[in-house]
Amino acid sequence: MSEPLKVMIETSEAKARKLLSVVSSLSDLSAIQYEIEAAIEKQWAGLRYCRRYLEYGPRTGCEGSFLPNRIDKIFCCGSCRKSLHEKRNPRTRPKRKRHGK
């Protein structure tokens, strides 16, 4: 069998006791990895992707993913919402010609 992993840490006695209490409860690395992944998954559980980013790709100012503050929020920012609306509904009427120049 392989030898157990040894870690050298320079710290105070109180911090060392606290670290040992945490590490002793998680005896192997797979358990530690599982706990870390569970904590990350819990933190990012509500993560959503911007609708404009999914349909048209990256854009200056677009975050790509965000944590929504409302249930029905689908865009990361107002400029992405406006940009998607403009791409889906282009102006069909021609621009006015300016006279005098």
Looking at residue 3, what is its pLDDT? 64
Look at the block and give the residue holding tokens 């409860």: 25
φ, ψ of residue 65 in degrees (nearest 5): -130, 155
49 neighbors 65 (Cβ within 8 angstroms): yes
The whole-angstrom distance between residue 95's C-alpha and the CA centroid of its chain comes to: 41
User: Residues of the chain with pLDDT > 90: what percent?
Assistant: 15
The CA-atom distances, in angstroms, between 42 and each of 15, 22, 58 are 26, 20, 26
Q: Which residues of 17-39 are buried (b: 16+ CB within 10 A; e: fewer)?
A: eeeeeeeeeeeeeeeeeeeeeee
pTM: 0.51
pLDDT in tens, 37-78: 777 777 777 888 999 999 998 888 888 888 888 889 999 999
